[in-house]
Amino acid sequence: MALQSAIVVGAGVAGLTAALSLAETGMRVTVLEQSVQMSEVGAGLQISANGARVLDRLGVLPLFSSQWLQPECVTLASGATLADLASVPLGRAGAARWGGPYGVLHRATLQSALLRKVDEHPLISLKLGTRIDKPSKEALEAEAGTRADLFVGADGVWSKMRSLVEGAGQARFSGFVAWRFVIPEKDAPAFIPRNRVTAFTGADAHVVCYPLKEVGAINLVAISAGEDPGPAWSISPSEEQRRDFVKRALSGWNGHLCELLLSAPQPTWWPLFGVGDGHWTDSRDLVLIGDAAHAMLPFAAQGAVMAIEDAYDLAGMVSSMPIGAALVHYEAIRRARVAKVRARGDFNRFAYHARGPVRLARDAVFALSPASRLAAKLDWIYGYKAGEQPA
Contacts of 155 (CB under 8 A, 6+ apart): 9, 10, 15, 161, 292
Does the reported pTM lie above 0.75? yes
Provide mean pLDDT across the span 226-231: 76
Provide mean pLDDT across the span 271-289: 95
Closest to 99 in 3D by CA, of 53, 47, 51 = 53
Which regions of the chain does DSSP assign to beta strands (E)? 5-9, 28-32, 44-47, 73-78, 84-89, 103-106, 124-127, 150-153, 171-184, 197-202, 205-212, 217-225, 268-275, 286-288
Q: Tell me the residue range of the domain where 80 lies.
A: 5-170+275-382
What's the DSSP call for residue 213?
G
Q: How much is the pLDDT for 232?
A: 65
Q: Residue 279 and residue 348: Cα distance in Å, rounded?
A: 26
Domain at 85, CATH number: 3.50.50.60
Q: What is the pLDDT of residues 127-171, one digit of tens each?
A: 999 988 889 999 999 999 999 999 999 999 999 999 999 999 999
Contacts of 132 (CB under 8 A, 6+ apart): 9, 32, 34, 139, 140, 143, 160
Residue 190 within a domain: no
Residue 390 within a domain: no
Q: Residue 172 and residue 150: Cα distance in Å, rounded?
A: 28
Q: How much is the pLDDT for 131?
A: 86
Residue 355 within a domain: yes
Provide mean pLDDT across the span 341-367: 85
Q: Residue 70 and residue 101: Cα distance in Å, rounded?
A: 7
Q: Residue 97 and residue 82: Cα distance in Å, rounded?
A: 29
Count of CB atoms within 10 A of residue 389's CB? 17
Averaged confidence pLDDT in the chain: 93
Q: Does the pLDDT at position 10 exceed 90?
A: yes
Provide mean pLDDT across the span 234-259: 91
Q: Does the pLDDT at position 1 exceed 70?
A: no
Q: How many domains does the chain have?
A: 1
Residue 197 within a domain: no
Q: Residue 195 and residue 210: Cα distance in Å, rounded?
A: 8
Residue 198 within a domain: no
Q: Does the pLDDT at position 367 exceed 80?
A: no
Give the strands of the sheet with 286-288, arranged side by side. 124-127, 28-32, 5-9, 150-153, 286-288
Residue 261 within a domain: no
Residue 61 within a domain: yes
Handedness of CA 149, 155, 156, 162 (dihedral sign): negative
Q: What is the pLDDT of residues 62-86, one digit of tens each?
A: 999 999 999 999 999 999 999 999 9
Asked if 69 and 62 count as a contact pair (C-beta separation under 8 A), the reply is no
Q: Residue 276 and residue 108: Cα distance in Å, rounded?
A: 28
Q: How much is the pLDDT for 237?
A: 86
Handedness of CA 300, 301, 303, 304 (dihedral sign): negative
Closest to 74 in 3D by CA, of 206, 180, 205 = 206
Q: Residue 185 and residue 216: Cα distance in Å, rounded?
A: 6
Residue 243 within a domain: no
Provide mean pLDDT across the span 352-361: 82
